[in-house]
Amino acid sequence: MENTGRIISIKGEVVEVHFEQAQPVLHDILTLLDDDSVKLQIYGSDSAGNYSCLLLTPEKKLSRAMKVINTGQPLTIPVGKELLGRAIDIFGRPRDGKPINFKQTNKRPIYHNAPLYRDIVPVNQLLPTGIKILDLFSPILKGGKVGLFGGAGVGKTILLTEIIHNVVQMSKEQNTSRVSVFAGIGERTREGQELYTSLAESGVLSSVVLVLGSMGESPAIRFLSSLTAITLAEYFRDEVQNDVLFFIDNVFRFAQAGNELSLLMNVIPSEDSYQATLSSEMASLHERLISNSKKSITSIEAIYIPNDDILDQGVQSILPYIDSNVTLSRSIYQEGLLPAIDILGSTSSALRPDIVGEKHFQTVLDAQSLLKQAAGLEQIVQLIGESELSQEDQAIYKRAKLIKNFMTQSFFVAETQTGRKGVYVPLETTIADVNDILAGKYDNIPEEKMLYVGSAKEALNVYSTPK
């Protein structure tokens, strides 16, 4: 058979095959002649007729000289509304222990070219999350890309899960057509189980598809998990015509999986020991996540910062695609201020008067100015104490602490852990309360009374101003 080749070497998860006649092309799926459950994907070629393949199934069935058949197609997955509320792998197979019964099976390849520039439709509409610090200082654009940057254990995943809960729940209440696709790349299996359970308990799982490629999977599976999830997002945007929320946890693991694959292929590394193809791989991921004339895809991405070094090349390769940069701080987390977002270290391209409005824009400028002044006073306070500051500086320092504490919030998805009931805070309430703090309305209230309140008026209810 012209489309038949044979295995000439097996190096862990990389299998080298040889074809004498009809040559396969990049991304073609190969199967064993005697067992089509074993799948290999063409990854590259180092000489005429010899091809390096990624093994997508366990290698215990393989041996040298086995014959393989080229299917002539890339990896395809079944798509349909039946996937909502389900957890699947890169092949579209269920991971939650229940069968998926498709009424009509449609299949889509996981590889697509990025849309043409003329097909991209920019959207200047905000996507509210009900999270005070996020909506005020790093507002999310519908159809934009948000990066949640932070080291290990500072709350990226729980913040991302709360965004899923709030936006999906709000969409249900407003009867808005919106679905969510979650790509779990290289994270712990336990975290995937906890996310699945949390979404089920909060009643929003029926609007979410989870594609899981956990930490224990091969780098090929982890790498392809993102492409499977993007394909589903494109299906819901183009065919079902839903606005899509696309979540990734975590993008750094995507870069890491690509690096592992390049090492297995003996490719010479590039900058900071990463693969030379890192930039193009990030482009292939992000440039498919766009809004078109049909509907939008809003991407919210957790990005692990190794060793808390944001200059790591894997992290830097993501930055050009991000519209809203949300930085989580370990020092703030250790103070018990959650979400541990660094206000002065976070930005958003949506912070323009023509998008957020003049009042919102001015409130952010005033608050950031106050926080910067307070940061300059911090060293003085540590040396001689707050009481030695001038009355004006004392007011600045106190109001900055009030704002920082007011930006803490109880999350719905963490109710069982914290014992505090979750709260959704409208943006209008946040803007009004921050302006009241800036104006000195709450100067007589101890700053700890502002911790984990919804509206600032709640602090007035629990504290009576001394006469």
Q: Residue 9 has which token pair?
A: 């070497």
Let me know: does 90 contact 228? Beta carbons within 8 Å.
yes
Q: Residue 354 has which token pair?
A: 């023509």
Let me know: does 270 contact 324? Beta carbons within 8 Å.
no
Q: Residue 32 has which token pair?
A: 């064993």
Catalytic residue at 188? Answer: yes
Provide the angle, in degrees to the nearest 10, between the axes of the packed helices 278-286 and 219-238.
Answer: 30
**Secondary structure class of 378 (helix, strand, coil):** helix
- 39, 132, 156, 237: the catalytic one is 156
- C-alpha span between 374 and 54 (Å, rounded): 54
Catalytic residue at 95? Answer: no
- C-alpha span between 67 and 54 (Å, rounded): 16
Catalytic residue at 288? Answer: no
Which residues on neighbouring strands pair with residue 43, listed in sequence order?
none
The phi, psi pair for 272, rounded to 5°, reads 60, 30
Q: Is 415 exposed, middle or buried (0-12, 13-18, 19+ CB in 10 A)?
A: middle
- 13, 187, 234, 301: the catalytic one is 187
What are the residues whose beta carbons fall under 8 Å from the beta carbon of 143, sequence distance 6 or more?
Answer: 121, 122, 123, 125, 290, 291, 296, 297, 298
Element (H, E) at 354: helix 353-356
- C-alpha span between 429 and 14 (Å, rounded): 55
The C-alpha R_g of the chain, in whole angstroms, comes to 25
- 67, 188, 372, 420: the catalytic one is 188
Catalytic residue set: 156, 187-188
